[in-house]
C-alpha cells in the first residue's frame, strides 16, 4: 500500500469505528458484533503503529489511555461552574417558582432532568475537535483531566459539525460497572469503593489514564456554557442541538409548562429511581427560556433560574454503640455516634454527628439505643430519633467530660453558645485540625497534604504550626510511611507553589474565627497587604461592608496576639506572599477608570493577550466581565473570528472594540 492508500484506510476505519461507537454507546443501537468491532480496531491500531504520523486525533485507539501524568494541571473556567440551590419538598419548589414569576413578571416554563450522582465536568471543542476536559473543582478553578475523559466512549473526540463549543455534563459509573469493579477489587484484596459516585470521581482523578479506561464510565451532557456562531432560544432546544452534534444526553428530561408539571415529574421519579441503571439523587429544574435565565441572573453561589430537588433521605435503624469526642480547630468538642455499620443511600455508615451535648439530652440518647439515622441531603449521616420502645434496660447514660479529651484542659461553655470548648491554644487536636484547614482547597490548596499526611507530620514532630510546612525537607519526608520519591517531590512542589497564593487564601487558611472565604476576600481587597490589616482597629474593620461587630472584634483580637504576628513574620521569612493579587477596589480618592462599573463581554480569539489575561486587566480597573451579551452589556471586545455575540451586540447597538483599542485603553487607564 502507498502512503496515500494507508491514509485513506486509516480515515475509513476511524470514521467507521467512531460511527459504530456512537450507535453503541450513545444511541444504544449496536450496528455490529463486538468481535467485528474488535477486528476492525485491531487493524486500525496496526496501521497506526506502522504509520504513527497518519493517526488522527479522534482515533478510537485514543480511548485506551495514554501515558501517566506526573500531576494534574489547574484550569481556570471561563464561566464559573456554580452549585445549585436545593429544594427538599413541594413548598420549596413552589417558592422557587414564585420568586421566578415575581422577578420575570410572567409564568416561566421549565426543563426537568434527572440529577445524576457523579462528577461534574466541562468539555471544550475547537472547530469540532475535543481539546480540553476539566473537573468542576471549586467552581472557578478545576483540573485538566482531558486524557482520562478521552477514555469515556460516549464523549465524542470529534463532533458531527465543526463548531466551537463548551458543554457541561455529569460523568458517572453505571451500577453494573460499579458492581463488577468492587467484585474485582475484593478478589484482589483492595479496598472497596463506597458508591458509584466515589468510584467515578476516583477513576477520573487517576494520573494513569489506562486505569480510567478500564472503569467503564459514561456521561450525560446537561448544558451548553459557550457556543460560537449560533443562538439558542431555550434549554431544551440546546439539549436537542448537542444531541445532533453527537453528545449523549439523558432521554428522561422533560419540558414542563408550569410548576404543577414539575412537581408531578418529581413525584413520579421518586418511586422509579431504583429501577434506573445509574444512581440519581434528585431532579434538576431549570427555567427553560434562555432569555428568562439571563434576566434572572445569579447569586454569588448559584443561578437564580435553577434548583435541585433532593429526594427525601432514606431512614434506617441501627444500634448506637458508643459516643466518640473530637476537638476541632476552634476548640469545639463535638460528639459523634459510633454505629453498628448499616447501608444508607448506597454507602455504609458507621458514624453520625450528634452536634452537641444539648442535642444528646433533647433526644434522650443513651449508649446501646436503637436509633433511626438518615443522610441529611443524602450526604451527612445524622441521628433522627431514638426508638425508646426497643430499650432493654441495659442502655447507659452518656455524660460530656469536664476535660478536653486531647490535652485534658478544662472545657468551658461560652455564654450564648451550646458547644463545650477547649481554650488551650497549645491543644494538639486544635493545632492538627488547623493545619488540615490551612492546606485545604479553599485555603492554601496544597495538593498531597491530606488529613493522613498532616497527622503523620504532626505525630513525627515535623510540624507544630503552619509555618513549619514551609521548612520541610525531602530527606525527612522520605522516611515517612507511604511517601515515595515521586510523591515527596510533588508535595514539595505543591508547597512551593502555594507561596504565590493571593492574600485572601492565606487569611482564610489562618482560621480566624468567623472569617470565611468570602470575608477573607473582602478583607484582602480592602487592605491589600497583611500589614495594613494587622494595623486596623475595630472601627476601621466594622466600616467595611459585610464585616459586622462580632467579626471585627474577632479579627482585631486575633492580630493583637504576639504569637500571631510572630507566625506571620515567619511565613513571610519563608517566602509566603502576604499581598492581595486580585482586582483592586476603586477608592473615592482615585480617579475612576473608563472600565469602572461597566459590564463587558470578550469574544473571539486575541493575538497579543489571552482572553483570561484581558479579563484580569479589565477587572483590575473596576470592570465586570461576563460571558453573555444582553441589554445590560456596556461594551463588547471582539477578537478574531467573533461569532454570534458580535452579531447580537450589533443588533443591540452596543459599543464594540477590537483588541488594539482595548490595549490602548488599558494603557491609558493604568
For the stretch 389-425, pLDDT in tens is 999 999 999 988 899 998 998 888 877 777 888 888 7
Question: What pairs with residue 122 in β-bridges?
Answer: 134, 168
Q: C-alpha grid cell for residue 207?
A: 494520573
Question: What pairs with residue 133 in β-bridges?
Answer: 123
Least confident of 106-120, 196-210, 431-445: 196-210
Instruction: Write out the E strands in 144-291.
Output: 165-172, 218-227, 254-256, 280-287
Looking at the chain, the whole-number percentage of residues with pLDDT higher than 70 is 96
Catalytic (active-site) positions? 115
Q: C-alpha grid cell for residue 568?
A: 506571620
Q: Supply the DSSP symbol for 558.
A: H
Question: What pairs with residue 280 in β-bridges?
Answer: 116
587, pLDDT greater than 60 = no
Handedness of CA 153, 156, 158, 160 (dihedral sign): positive
The dihedral region occupied by 346, where left means phi > 0, alpha psi between -120 and 50, and beta the remainder, is left
160, pLDDT greater than 90 = yes
Q: Which pLDDT value is given to residue 376?
A: 60
For the stretch 509-553, pLDDT in tens is 998 988 988 789 889 988 999 999 999 999 999 888 778 888 999
The candidate with the shortest Cα–Cα distance to 609, out of 582, 634, 637, is 637
In this prediction, residue 69 has a pLDDT band, given cuts at 50, 70 and 90, of low
Question: What pairs with residue 558 in β-bridges?
Answer: none
**Sheet of strand 635-638, all strands in order from the earlier edge strand to the far edge:** 624-626, 599-603, 635-638, 655-657
What does DSSP say about strands 85-87 and 306-310: parallel, antiparallel, or unpaired? Answer: parallel
Q: Any residues with CB less than 8 A from the CB of 284 and at least 6 apart, and which?
A: 84, 112, 113, 114, 115, 222, 306, 307, 308, 309
The C-alpha atoms of residue 165 and residue 559 are separated, in whole angstroms, by 48
The candidate with the shortest Cα–Cα distance to 111, out of 304, 261, 247, 253, is 253
Within 10 Å of residue 274's Cβ, how many Cβ atoms? 7
The C-alpha atoms of residue 630 and residue 642 are separated, in whole angstroms, by 16
The C-alpha atoms of residue 549 and residue 225 are separated, in whole angstroms, by 40
Q: Which H, E and C letters describe 22-53, residue by residue?
A: HHHHHCCCCCCCHHHHHHHHHHHHHHHHHCHH
The C-alpha atoms of residue 568 and residue 531 are separated, in whole angstroms, by 10
Phi, psi of 107 (to 5 degrees): -85, 120
For the stretch 320-367, pLDDT in tens is 999 999 998 888 898 999 999 998 766 788 999 888 888 899 999 999
For the stretch 97-110, pLDDT in tens is 999 999 999 999 99
Measured in Å, how far apart are the chain's first and last C-alpha atoms?
63
Q: Which pLDDT value is given to residue 345?
A: 67
The C-alpha atoms of residue 169 and residue 166 are separated, in whole angstroms, by 10
The three-state secondary structure class of 280 is strand
Domains of the chain: 3-64 (1.10.287.610), 85-310 (3.30.470.30), 315-412 (2.40.50.140), 428-498 (1.10.150.20), 503-573 (1.10.150.20), 599-668 (3.40.50.10190)
Q: What is the pTM of this model?
A: 0.55
Instruction: Quote the mean pLDDT of the chain.
Output: 88
Q: Supply the DSSP symbol for 178.
A: H
589, pLDDT greater than 60 = no
The candidate with the shortest Cα–Cα distance to 652, out of 625, 638, 632, is 632
Mean pLDDT to the nearest integer, 219-227: 95
The C-alpha atoms of residue 385 and residue 317 are separated, in whole angstroms, by 10
The packing angle between helices 175-187 and 196-204, to 10°, is 80
588, pLDDT greater than 50 = no
Amino acid at each position: 500500500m502507498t502512503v496515500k492508500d494507508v491514509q485513506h484506510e486509516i480515515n475509513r476505519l476511524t470514521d467507521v469505528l467512531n460511527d459504530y461507537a456512537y450507535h453503541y454507546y450513545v444511541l444504544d443501537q449496536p450496528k455490529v458484533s463486538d468481535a467485528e468491532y474488535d477486528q476492525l480496531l485491531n487493524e486500525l491500531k496496526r496501521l497506526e503503529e506502522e504509520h504513527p504520523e497518519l493517526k488522527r486525533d479522534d482515533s478510537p485507539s485514543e480511548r485506551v489511555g495514554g501515558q501517566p501524568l506526573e500531576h494534574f494541571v489547574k484550569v481556570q473556567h471561563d464561566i464559573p461552574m456554580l452549585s445549585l440551590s436545593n429544594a427538599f419538598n413541594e413548598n420549596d419548589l413552589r417558592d422557587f417558582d414564585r420568586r421566578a414569576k415575581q422577578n420575570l413578571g410572567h409564568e416561566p416554563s421549565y426543563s426537568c432532568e434527572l440529577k445524576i450522582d457523579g462528577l461534574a465536568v466541562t468539555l471544550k471543542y475547537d472547530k469540532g475537535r475535543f481539546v480540553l476536559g476539566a473537573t468542576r473543582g471549586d467552581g472557578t478553578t478545576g483540573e485538566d483531566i482531558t486524557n482520562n475523559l478521552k477514555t469515556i466512549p460516549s464523549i465524542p473526540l470529534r463532533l458531527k459539525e465543526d463548531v466551537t463549543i463548551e458543554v457541561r455534563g455529569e460523568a458517572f459509573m453505571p451500577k453494573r460497572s460499579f458492581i463488577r469493579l468492587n467484585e474485582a477489587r475484593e478478589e484482589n484484596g483492595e479496598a472497596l469503593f463506597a458508591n458509584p459516585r466515589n468510584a467515578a470521581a476516583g477513576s477520573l482523578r487517576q494520573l494513569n489514564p489506562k486505569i480510567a479506561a478500564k472503569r467503564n464510565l459514561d456521561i450525560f451532557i446537561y448544558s451548553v456554557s459557550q457556543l460560537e456562531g449560533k443562538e439558542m432560544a431555550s434549554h431544551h432546544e440546546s439539549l436537542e442541538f448537542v444531541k445532533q452534534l453527537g453528545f449523549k444526553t439523558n432521554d428522561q428530561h422533560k419540558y414542563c409548562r408550569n410548576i404543577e408539571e414539575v412537581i408531578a415529574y418529581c413525584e413520579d421519579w421518586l418511586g422509579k429511581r431504583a429501577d434506573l441503571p445509574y444512581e440519581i439523587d434528585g431532579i434538576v429544574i431549570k427555567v427553560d427560556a434562555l432569555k428568562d435565565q439571563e434576566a434572572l441572573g445569579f447569586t454569588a453561589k448559584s443561578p437564580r433560574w435553577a434548583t435541585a430537588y433532593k429526594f427525601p433521605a432514606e431512614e434506617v435503624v441501627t444500634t448506637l454503640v458508643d459516643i466518640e469526642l473530637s476537638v476541632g480547630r476552634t476548640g469545639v468538642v463535638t460528639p459523634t455516634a459510633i454505629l453498628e455499620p448499616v447501608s444508607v443511600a448506597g454507602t455504609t455508615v458507621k458514624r453520625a454527628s450528634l452536634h452537641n451535648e444539648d442535642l444528646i439530652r433533647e433526644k434522650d440518647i443513651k449508649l446501646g439505643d436503637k436509633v433511626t439515622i438518615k443522610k441529611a441531603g443524602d450526604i451527612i449521616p445524622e441521628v433522627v430519633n431514638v426508638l425508646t420502645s426497643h430499650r432493654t434496660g441495659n442502655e447507659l447514660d452518656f455524660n460530656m467530660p469536664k476535660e478536653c479529651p486531647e490535652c485534658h484542659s478544662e472545657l468551658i461553655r461560652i455564654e450564648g453558645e451550646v458547644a463545650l470548648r477547649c481554650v488551650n491554644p497549645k491543644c494538639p487536636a486544635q493545632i492538627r485540625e488547623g493545619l488540615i484547614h490551612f492546606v485545604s482547597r479553599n485555603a492554601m490548596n496544597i495538593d498531597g497534604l491530606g488529613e493522613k499526611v498532616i497527622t503523620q507530620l504532626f505525630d513525627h514532630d515535623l510540624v507544630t504550626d503552619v509555618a513549619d510546612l514551609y521548612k520541610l525537607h525531602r530527606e525527612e519526608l522520605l522516611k515517612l510511611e507511604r511517601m515515595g520519591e515521586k510523591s515527596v517531590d510533588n508535595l514539595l512542589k505543591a508547597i512551593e507553589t502555594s507561596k504565590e497564593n493571593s492574600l485572601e487564601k492565606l487569611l482564610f487558611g489562618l482560621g480566624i474565627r468567623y472569617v470565611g472565604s468570602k470575608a477573607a476576600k473582602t478583607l484582602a481587597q480592602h487592605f491589600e497587604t497583611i500589614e495594613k490589616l494587622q494595623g486596623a482597629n475595630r472601627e476601621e474593620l466594622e466600616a467595611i461592608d459585610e464585616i459586622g461587630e462580632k467579626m471585627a472584634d474577632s479579627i482585631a483580637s486575633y492580630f493583637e496576639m504576639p504569637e500571631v504576628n510572630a507566625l506571620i513574620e515567619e511565613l513571610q521569612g519563608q517566602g509566603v506572599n502576604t499581598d492581595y493579587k486580585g482586582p483592586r477596589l476603586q477608592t473615592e480618592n482615585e480617579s475612576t477608570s473608563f472600565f469602572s462599573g461597566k459590564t463587558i463581554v470578550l469574544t473571539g480569539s486575541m493575538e497579543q493577550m489571552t482572553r483570561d489575561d484581558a479579563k484580569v486587566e479589565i477587572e483590575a480597573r473596576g470592570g465586570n466581565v461576563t460571558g453573555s451579551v444582553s441589554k445590560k452589556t456596556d461594551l463588547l471586545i471582539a477578537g478574531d473570528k467573533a461569532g454570534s455575540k458580535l452579531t447580537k451586540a450589533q443588533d443591540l447597538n452596543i459599543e464594540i472594540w477590537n483588541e488594539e483599542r482595548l490595549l490602548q485603553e488599558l494603557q491609558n487607564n493604568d
